[in-house]
Structure 1
Amino acid sequence: MTARPALLIATLFAGSALATAAPAADLTIGLKSEPTSMDPQFHNLATNTQVLENIFEGLTKQDAVQRLQPGLATKWEAVDDTTWRFTLRDGVKFQNGSAFTARDVLYTLCRPPLVENSPSSYTIYTGDIVDASAADDHTVIIKTEAANPLLPTNMASLPILSAEALGAEKTITYKPKGECEGLGDVPQSPAFNAPEVAVGTGPYELKEFTRGSQLVLTKFDGYWGDAPAWDTVTMRPITSDGPRVAALLAGDVDMIESPPIQDIPRIKDAGFKIVDALSNRIIYLHLYQQDDKAPSIEGTDGKNPLLDKRVREAISLAINRPAIVERIMGGYAVAAGELLPPPMFGTNGRDADTYDPDKAKQLLAEAGYPNGFTITLGTPNDRYINDEKVAQAIAQMLTRIGIKTNVDAMTASQFFSRRNALDFPVYLAGWGAASGEMSSPLKSLVATYDKATGMGPTNAGRYSNPDMDKVLIEAMSTIDDAKREDLLKKAEGLVLDDYGIIPLHYEQTVWAMKPALSYEARVDQYTIAAEVKPAQ
């Protein structure tokens, strides 16, 4: 099958018996991976976000193709280059009955630096805020250190918390770097597994979170927006592909995400509906580039070969991306030369590196490794489409040029924990741009790691390019869209020319469901229960 570059492609297949089934009042979804926490400020991870967006909402939100929409704010405006005014929606209630006001926004902006052991800190969205205040109960003024044209977009990724439910004082005073006043005893992430703490304004409220078993949401009758279609939503983590498909075919679940590519014909033949879309998720390799202490590398006399650009380029040239797309991804992917699929904002239109194993061997020899070396490639085995199979294929390709590669595959929860501990010299992972433009992957994946500023929170290879950092920071403070895009293109070019990170492919996301259901495939790959509807 040839990959389809259209942004949104839906193909419907309905068997007569399934097509005539009446929609139930409840919905059950089989998830590929379960969330790691019910704390919406703990881990900036798609498996968490897609669940928590049913419970919590941001000041702004994004639709299925990442167009910015009003959320808990009805409008926003730039007062000057560094000041934004947000007008909050009136009449909104939290699931505990308390009224949504500016106090809740201030609490939400204050908490990210105080979240302990966050694997991917939400300070990436708040780190440049120097002041925030309430002009009144429904007006918030936010000031940033420099011009930040993406602040309204960032607010879509920052779910609003209930100051009342979390024990804050009546008056909250914002101060940067985790020094706010009036927060009270800030609860840490484990506390959010309790429904009385995980309180938002969304269409569903948390009823039960039993790790490894199920997550149950119930309709919030006081929701300010359109009522969701389902009284109860049950989400079951079914991490193995076969059992997930079997659960759908047996009617144990109504919908699954990421069915195995090879099972799609069988699912269609059974009368189920397939929806798919090219996503903004880049699957990439990250390489340990901090120092010579890279783990799990042998045959280099204690040196870290990944510090040499020639070795990094050799790794990229050794990978046959078209073969991976066709043979492993079944055409449900596009070979990648960038960190976002063109023509998204900030892309250069750059093609994927051409497979060239002979040049790769030559580069290794020039770098002083004519006989190669041995390395370990870390990967999740249940997070991305065919992730372990892709890693195994890459390992074989690298071994052919002399880099003997062992694959260390594990569940997503284990992988992210070890990745963040810098356990891997090379790892395979993915990134979906929440903002829908280039600053998202650049700031998160390759900006020099700095916990204080929130830069590089997912840069577990510790790549650092001061020239790129400088251009990126300038781009993120440039209001003019054309100038900002040019700067983002330049910043990405600096990283890719340096082989600081190695793009592999863009995923095409697939959902399978009963034909009595309808779902608009999302570019961000989220499976959001509140957006699943009865078919018309």
Structure 2
Amino acid sequence: MSRRLRKLTSVFLAVSAACILFSGCAGNKDGSQASPSPEVSGGEAGEFVLSLPFDPADPLNPLTGTNRINLTLGPLLYEGFFQLDRSFSPVPLLCESYTTLDNITFRFTLRTGVTFSGGSLLTAADAVYSLEQARTSSLYSERLSKVQSVKAEGELTVIVTLNTADSAFPVLLDIPIIQNGTAGSSAPPGTGPYVLSSGDGESLVLRSDWWQGLPMPFDRIGLVEVRGSDLLIQDLGSNLIQLVSTDLTGTDAPMFSGNYDVTEYPTTILQYIGFNAEVSSVFSNAAVRRAFGLGIDRDFIVTGLLSGHAQASALPVNPASPLYDSTLAEKYSYSEEAMFSALAEAGYTDSDEDGVLDANSGGREAAISATLLVNSESSFKVSMAEHIAASFSQYGIAIEVKKLAWEDYLTALEKGDFDLYLGEVKLTTDFNLTSLAATGGALNYGKFSDTKLDGLFASLAAAPYQNRGTIAAALYSTFCQQAPFIPICFKNQSMLTREGAYSGLEPTQQNVFYNLSAWTQGTSS
């Protein structure tokens, strides 16, 4: 399990509401700036302390809330059937075990003796209630779209039936469980290690009756009222708060300087090149699409343009995942020789040595030229698009970068008015690609279709969970041959903490406090 810890002295930091996890409100709803709550302070010098941003104007409800500041606090208060580790693999939490015979009907057995913060025991009724609430939640409805029914059987068994097979369904069940009948509460009871306290300033207090009973580094976590997303970094610098999680390559990232430790963690956020396979005769050819993937220097993009805040990937799965095949990825990584070979397979060569690749079509030379759409509101994406265009111009392929504001960019994609586009999508944690590459997929803007790949998507979903690796290898091999789109990289997110304050941090995309019990004070040697 890898973790990158770096000193941050001068970086571009995204503090916009779209890119910073501890953001979402610039002040009180009437527009006034809130006064910060007092920082939690210990009675003894050097006491292990943590204070985090909090927006009291919005609920802490993990199923209905929309404020990213408060949702980020969720794993301290709530738990799911499973939690995902840094390889996106499920680790049992409230679920003690599960069985399935057909990957359609799942029987989940809950742990005994788990209590909510109010003292009542966790039962199957609570879990069913929570999952039913999640099915209508904007946060979780997409991942639960295959669910046909959820019901309780006895006190500790939950039966979930899907409308189609999906062996990776447990990977999606890190959904917070709340007490039955409390969805309307701003902070419903949860089973997590902390509970919200309003005494002597709002804070999170460690529960003495938490079922896991692990020793935690903080008996109390201070909650500092948000003064505005633009002041979060100032609050971190002044030690009013001790932690911020952010996207360092997000939209409109301003410059700031400071000395912080940066712990990066993998995500399912994929950046890729999409093709219009329906309209363009050039990109309807799999060999041409494959050649484009071979001609992109992903390592340079990650290190030179994204400052290392991503993981280069020739496959549509994060390198941190056990499904990632490094041998296959290497075969389809940057190689000018392999790129020209693929183009020659498609009939494109520089036969007259004029520096332009072309094919003989009806007695006429037909060169490759295309327009690459990119969202103009992200300087990082624009830089990536311009680098890709410049690289291919050296290969004799003319690419024009067309920069569009987000709404215009999205409209062009939906209308199919493009040759190529630089896209970004947050995949579900099972790395399901059907929306992007299956026939009729919601994000399949280029109308790509391949029956073999569609069959492999279905086979992967139906395969026993322990056999997913074998089917995934076949799927990714076919994917690389057909190249419905070209993966470039998976973004990293970054957690900033005071320099030398903490060690043992293992943030994940779903929970920046993952394995909190292992945190220690001071940087380990």
- Provide the TM-score with structure 2 as the length reference: 0.66
Instruction: Tell me the SS of whatever aligns to 2:488.
Output: strand
Cα offset, 1:134, TM superposition:
1.7
Q: Which residue of 2 aligns with 1:496?
A: 480
Asked if structure 1 preserves the Cα contact closer than 8 Å seen for 2:375 and 2:382, the reply is no
Letter of the 2:106 partner, please give it.
W
Instruction: Tell me the SS of whatever aligns to 1:316.
Output: helix
Asked if structure 1 preserves the Cα contact closer than 8 Å seen for 2:143 and 2:428, the reply is no
Cα offset, 1:471, TM superposition:
1.5
Structure 2 counterparts to residues 113-124 of structure 1, below 5 A: 114-115=136-137, 118=138, 122-124=141-143
Show CA shifts across 1:304-337 (max 9, x none): 8654545534543453323223322344544321
Show CA shifts across 1:130-175 (max 9, x none): 554322122223344566433333323x3335440237xxxxxxxx
* Distance (Å, rounded) in 2 between the aligned partners of 1:149 and 1:40: 24
Decide which of 454, 457, 469 is 1:485's aligned counterpart: 469
* Distance (Å, rounded) in 2 between the aligned partners of 1:53 and 1:219: 14
Deviates more, 1:494-503 or 1:463-472: 463-472
Asked if structure 1 preserves the Cα contact closer than 8 Å seen for 2:194 and 2:205, the reply is yes
Letter of the 1:447 partner, please give it.
A
Q: Which residue of 2 aligns with 1:327?
A: 304
* Distance (Å, rounded) in 2 between the aligned partners of 1:355 and 1:237: 50
* Distance (Å, rounded) in 2 between the aligned partners of 1:202 and 1:416: 42
Cα offset, 1:504, TM superposition:
1.0
Deviates more, 1:520-529 or 1:101-110: 520-529
Cα offset, 1:63, TM superposition:
3.3
* Distance (Å, rounded) in 2 between the aligned partners of 1:491 and 1:327: 31
Structure 2 counterparts to residues 77-92 of structure 1, below 5 A: 77-78=99-100, 82-92=104-114
Q: 1:86 to 1:251 in 2, by over 3 A?
A: same
Letter of the 2:177 partner, please give it.
I
Q: Which residue of 1 aligns with 2:241?
A: 253
Q: Which residue of 2 aligns with 1:376?
A: 373
Show CA shifts across 1:9-35 (max 9, x none): 446899xxxxx973565413699xxx9
* Distance (Å, rounded) in 2 between the aligned partners of 1:73 and 1:62: 13
Letter of the 1:136 partner, please give it.
G
Instruction: Tell me the SS of whatever aligns to 1:231.
Output: strand
- Provide the TM-score with structure 1 as the length reference: 0.65
Cα offset, 1:535, TM superposition:
1.3
* Distance (Å, rounded) in 2 between the aligned partners of 1:461 and 1:207: 51
Q: 1:236 to 1:291 in 2, by over 3 A?
A: farther
Decide which of 329, 334, 338 is 1:354's aligned counterpart: 334
Pairwise CA RMSD of aligned residues? 5.1
Q: 1:313 to 1:517 in 2, by over 3 A?
A: same
Asked if structure 2 preserves the Cα contact closer than 8 Å seen for 1:448 and 1:464, the reply is yes
Structure 2's unaligned 5+ residue stretches are 10-43, 350-356
Cα offset, 1:58, TM superposition:
1.5
* Distance (Å, rounded) in 1 between the aligned partners of 2:65 and 2:103: 30
Structure 2 counterparts to residues 398-477 of structure 1, below 5 A: 401-408=397-404, 425=418, 426-431=421-426, 434-435=429-430, 440-443=431-434, 445-449=436-440, 463-477=448-462
Q: 1:304 to 1:470 in 2, by over 3 A?
A: same
Q: 1:467 to 1:30 in 2, by over 3 A?
A: farther
Letter of the 1:251 partner, please give it.
N
* Distance (Å, rounded) in 1 between the aligned partners of 2:505 and 2:121: 31
Which protein is bigger by CA-based radius of gyration?
A: 2
Q: Which residue of 2 aligns with 1:177?
A: none
Show CA shifts across 1:83-114 (max 9, x none): 43322234545567765322232234445554
Give yes or no for the alignment of 1:232 onto 2:222.
Answer: yes
Asked if structure 2 preserves the Cα contact closer than 8 Å seen for 1:334 and 1:506, the reply is yes
* Distance (Å, rounded) in 2 between the aligned partners of 1:373 and 1:148: 38
Q: Which residue of 2 aligns with 1:202?
A: 192
* Distance (Å, rounded) in 1 between the aligned partners of 2:193 and 2:100: 30
Show CA shifts across 1:248-270 (max 9, x none): 44434322335859999975xx4
Show CA shifts across 1:317-374 (max 9, x none): 4533232233223445443211235584333322243254984794874499626243
Asked if structure 2 preserves the Cα contact closer than 8 Å seen for 1:465 and 1:495, the reply is no
* Distance (Å, rounded) in 2 between the aligned partners of 1:245 and 1:499: 41
Structure 2 counterparts to residues 66-77 of structure 1, below 5 A: 66-77=88-99
Q: 1:11 to 1:66 in 2, by over 3 A?
A: same
Q: Which residue of 1 aligns with 2:14?
A: none
* Distance (Å, rounded) in 1 between the aligned partners of 2:384 and 2:120: 48
* Distance (Å, rounded) in 2 between the aligned partners of 1:37 and 1:312: 46
Asked if structure 1 preserves the Cα contact closer than 8 Å seen for 2:54 and 2:223, the reply is no
Q: 1:335 to 1:13 in 2, by over 3 A?
A: closer
- The size of the alignment, in residue pairs, is 450
Instruction: Tell me the SS of whatever aligns to 2:143.
Output: helix
Give yes or no for the alignment of 1:518 onto 2:503.
Answer: yes
Letter of the 1:325 partner, please give it.
V
* Distance (Å, rounded) in 2 between the aligned partners of 1:340 and 1:431: 11
Q: 1:219 to 1:428 in 2, by over 3 A?
A: farther
